[in-house]
């Protein structure tokens, strides 16, 4: 697309929500420019979970077969390992549908795949290494962005600016749409360990509880992404203590990793993820819409971050495409409709995450370990309960359905063929 062509939509942020929304808009015939501050999509320790909802969406778009040919792992259960035994909390194999599992795929691979498909569409443009530095406004309405790349400062006019630039969203700050913290009691130290052929085949999405901490394991191509929880704000103390306590915990609580914990030698191999749960009161102002973590930060609990961002993108496409076709410039009531449709689901997920954080934090701070009570263990032995839990995690509350008719670029949503 020529640089001087004004896009209908400028999207800041090349995460799952931003890239998917750009693809959907471009496929519907809306001109869109996606600005990503980094030079590629490579990220460390980001969410790698593609839930059944996302896989089914890819199937609707005709992309699932090609996507799943890319290397990935499949998690069919979610289990807790505790001092009183192993508890299976969700069993995806009981789902009715073509994808009874969570696909664990490096996020960069998923984003590269989507961006490559979007690049085949005539209305899509991707600007890598382009950092948004300001908003352009006229008469109280945002009409574009300013951004910086290797060639200097630029201005990009647009009918709508979408902030999809994550939990530390610059767009959110520039638009003066602050997020309110909802509570979190822990942070996570992420690191990688190698994968061996004899490792447990069902360990791709599991939690291991012990005194004062718990560990999560996520399977990757040739290794494990391991998360070690610490109290909120506890990073300085953990760093002073060094990697030794982490190695000791893994040896005691995740014994199949004991033969390689010596590869974790220091904090230069560790990345801190500050766990947050927060939500902006308003996701919009004239000319600006926030989606994904820019609008509502999701905790890693349940691996829902990508799912919520994807569902935001689907809802935004359902609402924005008819508006672009009717007037060319979505008014604020249209942007408010996106929030109105999505906020109940986000609120429900975040409430559950806050409750889970509080329960686990209280258990670990009490007698130093987490033990499911007898009633919970008995209930979770019922297959139907595990299947319902898997379905709730697989699709989230109130999952939106993509209006596939909007993806015909020759169809005007209001009057028929354009």
What pLDDT, in 10s, does the model give residues 270-293? 999 888 899 999 999 999 999 999
The dihedrals phi and psi of 145, each to the nearest 5 degrees, come to: -135, 160
User: How far is 279 from 282, CA to CA, in rounded Å?
Assistant: 9
The predicted model gives 24-43 an average pLDDT of 92
Q: Kindly give, in sequence order, each residue whose CB lies less than 8 Å from that of residue 48, ignoring residues fewer than 6 positions away.
A: 104, 105, 106, 107, 218, 220, 225
Interval 366-391 mean pLDDT: 71
Q: Which two tokens stand for residue 95?
A: 């789902």
Q: Which of 192, 268, 266, 271 is nearest to 225 (CA)?
A: 192
Identify the pLDDT of residue 415.
33
Supply the pLDDT for residue 87. 84
**Is the pLDDT confidence value at 296 over 70?**
yes
Q: How far is CA 139 from the centre of its chain?
A: 34
pLDDT at residue 387 in the model:
86
Please tell me the least confidently modeled range out of 35-39, 98-102, 411-415.
411-415
How many CB atoms are located within 10 Å of the residue 61 CB? 18
Burial of 197 (0-12, 13-18, 19+ CB in 10 A): exposed
Q: Which of 78, 41, 44 is nearest to 206 (CA)?
A: 78
Q: Which residue has the higher pLDDT, 389 or 20?
A: 20
Whole-number mean pLDDT of the chain? 89
* pLDDT tier for residue 413 given thresholds of 50, 70 and 90: very low
261 neighbors 193 (Cβ within 8 angstroms): yes
**With bands split at pLDDT 50, 70 and 90, how would you rate the model's confidence at 89?**
confident
Task: Please state the rounded mean pLDDT for residues 103-124.
Answer: 94
135/142 Cα distance (integer angstroms): 7
Min mean pLDDT across 72-76, 173-177, 230-234, 299-303 is at 299-303
- Return d(Cα 22, Cα 55) in angstroms, integer: 18
d(CA 62, CA 109): 18
Banded model confidence at residue 365, pLDDT cuts 50, 70, 90: low
Whether the pLDDT of residue 4 is over 50: the answer is: no
Pairing of strands 9-12, 160-163: parallel
Provide the pLDDT confidence category of residue 98 given band limits of 50, 70 and 90: very high
Give the Cα separation of 361 and 275 in Å (integer). Answer: 13
- With beta carbons less than 8 A apart as the criterion, state whether 48 and 113 touch: no
- Mean pLDDT along residues 175-204: 89
Which spans in 254-369 are helix H? 305-327, 332-366
Q: Flag whether pLDDT at 37 surpasses 90.
A: yes
Query: Under 8 Å CB-to-CB from 158, ≥6 apart: which residues?
Result: 6, 7, 8, 9, 10, 33, 143, 144, 145
Tokens of 267: 């904090």
Residue 100 CA: distances (Å) to CA of 51, 110, 205: 9, 19, 14
The domains located in the chain, with CATH, are 9-75+100-181+277-357 (3.50.50.60), 186-273 (3.30.9.10)
What is the distance between the alpha carbons of residues 45 and 108, in angstroms, rounded to a whole number?
A: 11
Rounded to an integer, the average pLDDT of 355-377 is 67
Mean local confidence (pLDDT), 94-104: 92
In this prediction the pTM is 0.92
The sheet with strand 160-163 has its strands ordered as 124-128, 32-36, 9-12, 160-163, 288-290, 284-285
Q: Which residues of 229-239 are buried (b: 16+ CB within 10 A; e: fewer)?
A: bbbbeebeebe
pLDDT for residue 51 is more than 80: yes
Eight-state DSSP code of residue 250: H
**Greater model confidence, 299 or 325:** 325
φ, ψ of residue 393 in degrees (nearest 5): -75, -35
Q: Hey, is 194 helix, strand or coil?
A: strand
Length of the chain: 418
> Does the pLDDT value for residue 3 go beyond 50?
no
Rg (C-alpha) for the chain, rounded Å, is 22
Residue 71 has pLDDT above 70, yes or no: yes
Q: Work out the percent of the chain whose per-residue pLDDT is above 90.
A: 66
- Of 94, 60, 95, nearest to 310 (Cα)? 60
CB 16 within 8 A of CB 103: no
Cβ neighbours of residue 201 closer than 8 Å, sequence gap 6 or more: none
Decide which of 376 and 218 is more confident.
218
- Residue 217 near residue 226 (C-beta atoms within 8 A): yes
pLDDT above 50: residue 38: yes
């Amino acid at each position: 697309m020529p640089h001087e062509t004004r896009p209908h939509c400028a999207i800041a942020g090349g995460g799952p929500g931003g890239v998917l929304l750009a693809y959907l808009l471009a496929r519907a015939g809306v001109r869109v420019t996606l600005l990503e501050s980094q030079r590629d999509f490579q990220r460390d320790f980001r969410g790698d979970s593609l839930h059944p909802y996302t896989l089914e969406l890819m199937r609707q778009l005709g992309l699932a077969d090609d996507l799943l040919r890319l290397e990935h792992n499949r998690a069919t259960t979610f289990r807790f390992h505790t001092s009183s035994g192993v508890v299976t909390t969700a069993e995806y194999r009981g789902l009715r549908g073509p994808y009874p599992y969570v696909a664990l795929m490096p996020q960069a691979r998923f984003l590269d795949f989507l961006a490559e498909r979007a690049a085949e569409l005539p209305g899509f443009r991707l600007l890598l290494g382009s950092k948004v530095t300001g908003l352009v406004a006229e008469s109280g309405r945002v009409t574009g962005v300013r951004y910086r790349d290797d060639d200097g400062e630029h201005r990009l006019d647009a009918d709508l600016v979408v902030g999809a630039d994550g939990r530390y969203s610059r767009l959110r700050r520039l638009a003066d749409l602050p997020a309110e913290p909802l509570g979190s009691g822990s942070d996570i130290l992420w690191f990688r360990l190698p994968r061996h052929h004899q490792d447990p085949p069902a360990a791709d999405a599991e939690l291991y509880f012990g005194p004062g901490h718990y560990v999560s394991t996520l399977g990757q191509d040739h290794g494990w992404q391991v998360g070690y929880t610490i109290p909120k704000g506890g990073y300085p103390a953990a760093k002073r203590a060094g990697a030794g306590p982490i190695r000791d915990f893994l040896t005691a609580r995740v014994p199949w990793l004991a033969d390689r914990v010596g590869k974790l030698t220091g904090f230069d191999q560790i990345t801190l993820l500050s766990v947050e749960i927060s939500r902006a009161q308003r996701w919009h102002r004239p000319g600006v819409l926030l989606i994904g973590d820019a609008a509502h930060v999701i905790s890693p609990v349940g691996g829902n971050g990508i799912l919520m961002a994807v569902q935001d993108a689907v809802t935004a496409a359902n609402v924005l495409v008819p508006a672009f076709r009717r007037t060319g410039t979505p008014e604020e009531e249209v942007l408010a409709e996106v929030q109105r449709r999505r906020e109940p689901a986000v609120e429900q997920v975040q409430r559950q995450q806050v409750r889970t954080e509080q329960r686990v934090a209280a258990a670990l701070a009490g007698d130093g370990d987490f033990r499911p009570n007898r009633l919970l263990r008995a209930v979770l032995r019922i297959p139907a309960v595990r299947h319902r839990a898997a379905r709730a995690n697989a699709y989230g509350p109130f999952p939106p359905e993509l209006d596939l008719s909007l993806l015909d670029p020759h169809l005007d949503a209001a009057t028929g063929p354009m």
